[in-house]
C-alpha cells in the first residue's frame, strides 16, 4: 500500500470496512501507522478483518455499528475518540447498501427498499459525521464515498444513484459548516470497482465499463485508495467540498 509514512499516527474511523473498499482503506491507513477503527453492521466481520490486520503488527480495532441509528453512531464516535491519543482525526464514510440491490425501473422499486437505501447511504454519513464532530481534532478530515454513477446516471438504479448524489450535496454543506474549525470534507466517487460485492452484482464484472475508459482495464480497490489517502492528508489541507471521480477516465466533469 502507498502512503506518507512520515506523518504522526492518527485516529481513523472507516465505516463499512469488514470487506471490499472499506477494508482496502483501513489497510492503507494501518500501513501508514495510524490507529484504525473498522466499523460495520457485520460486527463479526469487522472484528475478523481487524484481527487479520492486527496480526501484521498494525493497531486495528473492529466493532459493530448501525449507521442509521443515532445512539449506535454516538457510541461508536466515543469509542473511536478513546482509541488513540485523543480525538478523531479522519472519518471515512464508506458504509452503503450496494451488493444486495437488484436493478428495477424506478416505478417498480419498493418504497421500503428506497427508504432503506436512503437510510444507510445518505442518513448514515450524516449521523456518523454528526456523532464524530464533537470529537474531531483541528484539521481533521472527512472523506465521504459517493459513486461515479451520479455523473453518468445508471438506468434501473434510481435509489442508489440518488442516495450517492445526496452524499455529494451533504459533503458540500459539511465543508461549509466545518471549515472554520480547519476540518475538510470531500467526496471520492469511484467507478465500478472489482470487489466481492461487484462480482456478485454483475456477471461480466471483469470487463464491465472498460470500453468507456481512457485507461482500458478494470478498476481495483487499490486504484481508489490513493485518492482517499490524499484527501485525508495534510497535502489536501486547502481542498474541501470537492468530489474526486476515480474511474480511469470513463467520464470527465
Instruction: Judge whether residue 197 has pLDDT over 80.
Output: no
Q: What is the DSSP letter of 122?
A: I
From 160, 166, 245, 246, active-site residue: 160
Residue-wise pLDDT for 64-103, tens only, equals 999 999 999 999 999 999 998 889 999 999 999 988 888 8
Count of beta carbons in the 10 Å neighbourhood of residue 148: 24
- Band (212; pLDDT cuts 50, 70, 90): confident
Residue 65: CB partners within 8 Å, gap ≥ 6?
15, 39, 40, 41, 72, 73, 76, 95
- Round to whole Å and give the CA distance between 243 and 238: 14
State residue 76's pLDDT score: 98
State residue 215's pLDDT score: 86
Q: Residue written as cell 481508489?
A: 224
Domains, the chain, ranges and CATH?
11-246 (3.40.50.720)
Query: Taking the chain, what is the end-to-end CA distance rounded to the nearest angstrom?
Result: 28
Q: What's the length of the chain?
A: 253
- Round to whole Å and give the CA distance between 124 and 121: 6
- Round to whole Å and give the CA distance between 92 and 144: 6
State residue 65's pLDDT score: 98
5: exposed, middle or buried (Cβ count in 10 Å: 0-12, 13-18, 19+): exposed
- Band (195; pLDDT cuts 50, 70, 90): confident
Active site residue 98: no
Residue-wise pLDDT for 141-154, tens only, equals 999 999 999 998 88
State residue 3's pLDDT score: 44
Q: Residue written as cell 478498476?
A: 219
Q: Which long-range contacts (CB under 8 A, 24 or more apart) does 100-103 make?
A: 101/157, 101/159, 101/160, 101/201, 103/155, 103/156, 103/157
State residue 140's pLDDT score: 98
Number of Cα atoms under 13 Å in the Cβ half of residue 175: 20
Secondary structure of the chain: what % helix, strand, coil (to 5)? 45, 20, 35
Strand 88-93 relative to strand 60-64: parallel, antiparallel, unpaired?
unpaired
- Band (245; pLDDT cuts 50, 70, 90): very high
Amino acid at each position: 500500500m502507498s502512503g506518507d509514512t512520515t506523518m504522526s499516527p492518527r485516529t481513523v474511523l472507516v465505516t463499512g470496512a469488514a470487506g471490499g473498499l472499506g477494508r482496502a482503506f483501513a489497510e492503507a491507513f494501518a500501513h501508514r501507522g495510524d490507529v484504525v477503527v473498522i466499523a460495520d453492521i457485520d460486527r463479526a466481520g469487522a472484528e475478523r478483518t481487524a484481527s487479520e490486520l492486527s496480526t501484521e503488527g498494525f493497531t486495528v480495532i473492529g466493532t459493530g455499528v448501525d449507521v442509521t441509528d443515532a445512539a449506535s453512531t454516538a457510541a461508536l464516535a466515543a469509542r473511536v475518540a478513546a482509541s488513540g491519543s485523543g480525538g478523531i482525526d479522519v472519518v471515512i464514510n464508506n458504509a452503503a447498501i450496494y451488493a444486495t440491490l437488484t436493478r428495477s425501473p424506478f416505478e417498480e422499486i419498493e418504497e421500503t427498499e428506497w427508504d432503506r437505501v436512503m437510510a444507510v447511504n445518505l442518513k448514515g454519513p450524516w449521523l456518523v459525521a454528526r456523532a464524530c464532530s464533537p470529537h474531531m481534532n483541528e484539521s481533521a478530515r472527512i472523506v465521504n464515498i459517493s459513486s461515479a454513477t451520479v455523473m453518468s446516471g445508471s438506468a434501473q438504479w434510481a435509489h442508489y444513484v440518488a442516495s450517492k448524489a445526496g452524499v455529494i450535496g451533504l459533503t458540500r454543506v459539511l465543508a461549509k459548516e466545518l471549515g472554520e474549525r480547519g476540518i475538510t470534507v470531500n467526496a471520492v466517487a469511484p467507478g465500478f470497482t472489482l470487489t466481492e460485492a461487484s462480482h456478485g452484482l454483475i456477471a461480466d464484472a471483469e470487463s464491465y465499463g472498460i470500453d468507456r475508459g481512457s485507461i482500458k482495464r478494470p478498476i481495483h480497490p487499490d486504484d481508489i485508495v490513493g485518492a482517499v489517502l490524499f484527501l485525508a492528508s495534510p497535502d489536501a489541507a486547502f481542498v474541501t467540498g470537492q468530489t474526486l471521480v476515480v474511474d480511469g477516465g470513463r467520464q470527465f466533469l
